[in-house]
Structure 1
Amino acid sequence: MVDTHQTFVIVGGGLAGAKAAETLRGEGFTGRVILICDERDHPYERPPLSKGYLLGKEERDSVFVHEPAFYAQARIELHLGQPAVHLDPAGRTVRLGDGTLIAYDKLLLATGAEPRRLDIPGTGLAGVHHLRRLAHAERLRGVLASLGRERSASGDREKSRGGAKRSGHLVIAGAGWIGLEVAAAARSYGAEVTIVAPGPTPLHGILGPELGALFADLHRDHGVRFHFGARLTEIVGQDGMVVSVRTDDGEEHPAHDVLAAIGAAPRTALAEQAGLDVVDRADGGGIAVDAALRTSDPYIYAAGDAAAADHPLLDTRLRVEHWANALNGGPAAARAMLGQDVSYDRLPYFFSDQYDLGMEYSGYAPPGSYDQVVCRGDVGKREFIAFWLREGRVLAGMNVNVWDVAEQIQQLIRAGAPLAPERLADPTIPLASLLP
């Protein structure tokens, strides 16, 4: 067992960091565990911020990874509201924003990611939002409720003919998962929604055109307007408030609020300052780690959104920003820190809920990596499973309103055996029977 006098430090108070700390104690580590969080809230999970909590279906307390009392009971020392500002690998110390210097024997960087910013005029106006932190979700939840309430013509910045009443308008820059989930939440409150995105379909870089169109139709059915093939060039204001947005093709859209949902960037500044290997942004960015989640420094590990890991199954370096990677990556890094033999080969997995559509995606099949998409079930009714194939081998699968099949889809991916597409497409053939 690791020496009881050792100190393990975790930088990052999200799901990956909290689960790593929990795992260290669960595996019997008796030394000091220090968890450094730059937010004042206890560690929380992020999916509810664009799903249940934003929709008003979940309470604030439901987002936290553990009850506050857990940390004291597990002898995990929390530094809330304290960013780590300097890392010294040679001296094995990390300095906090208040000047506190903490020595470590091993360190885990679970610094997460931050929303990418719009670099256009008008981003300083009231009514421009991002969604990454609990405080963002709290603010946006109130905004959506306000937009959904009817506005009288006398109080509306857009005068309506004859004094009619109408809802406020949200423009979303970006058609990824966050943009679409917020759009669904906004429509549930009654707000008007326009999504502006450079691609030809939503989720184009993830699902490709074949399945991206499905989500466009889903949102159009619920009243969302899309403006594809365009980017925002300006947010127009009046008296410090948003009144419209302009795009690079000369269009202008009315807006009361704007959400920037153009992706997230891994928080690698601390790793870069310390001289650790990082991945170029063009290749996805992130802190470079091996299959054991170890960085270029043997005493420093990284997990979660910030880590770009050598994936032993997919044979590529991969950075995954989704909940399951934080949930499983944090504990894997903790076990590696304890000297256990770790080869982190979890398949990418994420889920989304939008209106009456629920889905799970497993695997990795970016556009250009596959040669065929096969569906089983009823795509028109949005009850089906889609498979992305290369030479008959399943690279990824997405189940839409079909449940309890994600594990079987992952087994098909792991098996790597070529399959007849017509058998994959046949819903009368159980998935389990396709396994070698």
Structure 2
Amino acid sequence: MVKAENIEKAYKIAKERYAEIGVDTDKVIAQLKKVKLSMHCWQGDDIHGFLNPDQELTGGIGVSGDFPGIAHTPDELTADLHKALTLIPGQHKVQLHTLYAVTDQKKDFNEIGPEDFKYWVDWAKKEGVGLDMNPTFFSHPKVKHNFTLASPEKQIRDYWIEVGKKSREIANYFGKELGQQSVNNFWIPDGFKDNPIDKQGPRDRLIASLDEIFAKKYEEKNTIEAVEGKLFGTGIESYTVGSHLFYNNYAISRNKLWTIDAGHWHPTEDVSDKFSAFLPFGKGLMLHVSRPVRWDSDHVVIMDDALIRIARSLVRDNQLERTNIGLDFFDATIDRVAAWVIGARATQKALLQAMLAPIDQLKKAELNYDFTTRLAVTEELKSYPFGAVWDEFCLENETPVGADWLEDIHQYEKDVLFKRN
């Protein structure tokens, strides 16, 4: 176990090193404390939910692995989330889906309302977290031939339109009850496996469906909507109705947030470059921080180059206040609770490292065409002791330092996870 006195010694040295280049580490720590991540509940149960847990996953979604201890009930899932949140520094939020409603009645997706999320609101109040929402447009018999809101059948579209409307009621309920704005993110799996004849029709239907869903106005202090695109998915390799460009334009024209999922782009694209291109025109961003391995495979987030670039873009361009950062991955080959902790802490580390830089001085050098200084300083920063600042951040938030949190996870496995059926 890391000793507190050693952390303090290391932090004192790091603080002095960063002060030499004009960076106040105390202010940086205070800045990072303000950043709330939105934790995705579906990592804990492999996206089964509680409404139809035996329904096969559809919509191009799949979870691999069989690590013991999967959550089967609301109490098990919230217990696992609580454990993860105690090991992640700071105060955060939790993302839900329609299929995580808790009700003692047999209800279809289009019948789920705020009353079915009272369990989650009560838990969130006790936990001190906010709640975000996602309407579930997958894992249901009415996902017909990979179509929902863009379906050529009016009865199918009407069903999913009602699901979308209900989700907005739920998100508004979250915001009112918890006093934190609830981001309601819309993603649909609609598209064709092979080349379509009509590319315009499905998009016209999707626009009409979304417009109907969003017709009612809610106070933005309670809830706000985001729309999420995708390059392609399993079963819709040739044509995605809700493409990136489609939702980019829809978000700007309808004053919605645009959701950028790091796994939904071509592997060679740098998603961080999209932020500064969109934000001068758009309302704001919702991020789903994920890690694609060759495709949208939703691996657990690690502090890799892609994540570092995402964090640098947000910090250097002062876009954190206009960006909601959510996590989105699922891996059942490892401890599911540990996956939350690894991904969240990696995201925070990337943000911290981005903040620990003399950004104003570097921007000044760039404006003066001093590219030598820009390159030299950014390279030297890579070996600065940001790890000591991270340890101090964990210590101040009363969370384990270094890999000490893994001991808690292993004990939780013995006491809880391995005892589940």
TM value normalised by structure 1: 0.26
User: Relative contact order, CA 8 A, sep 6+: which one is greater?
Assistant: 2
Larger radius of gyration: 1
Query: Of Structure 1 and Structure 2, which has the larger fraction of its residues in helix?
Result: 2
Query: Of Structure 1 and Structure 2, which has the larger fraction of its residues in strand?
Result: 1
TM value normalised by structure 2: 0.26
